[in-house]
Amino acid sequence: MPAEISAEKLGEAAKLVAKGVKRRVIAERLNVSRTTLTKYFPAPPKGGSEPYEVDKWAAALDEGMGYKHVGEIFNVSARTIRKHLPGRGWTPEQIREHAKAVRKFNGTKTPVLG
């Protein structure tokens, strides 16, 4: 049976749920079980019911952030972002050219994998 949690922890959990933080992370942060947390904040049904913030992802990518970095900020996988916003990242050729320019600028001859 799920345990009771304090009003303070419940308030903090509500704020984190509203921000979209995963329940697993909230449970670890507040030192409560996921079962107890789910008692107060049931998980939304699976199947894409939580709307993505694609506009915010696009803005971050337009600012020059990579898929991985944007994913870390918005707590989604880089793969999900690529799926919704294809063609926003660098091509392998662009990555190689950038690495070549950085090596030239830094005066190193370290080979780049890929």
40: number of CA atoms within 13 Å, CB side? 23
Domain parsing of the chain, residue ranges: 1-50, 54-106
pTM of the model: 0.40
Per-residue pLDDT of the chain (114 residues; tens, 9 = 90+): 556 788 888 888 888 888 888 888 888 999 988 888 888 877 665 544 356 788 888 888 888 788 888 888 888 888 888 888 888 777 678 778 888 888 888 876 666 665
The two three-digit tokens of residue 27, written as one number: 């449970």
Phi-psi region at 87: left, alpha or beta (left = phi > 0; alpha = psi -120 to 50): left
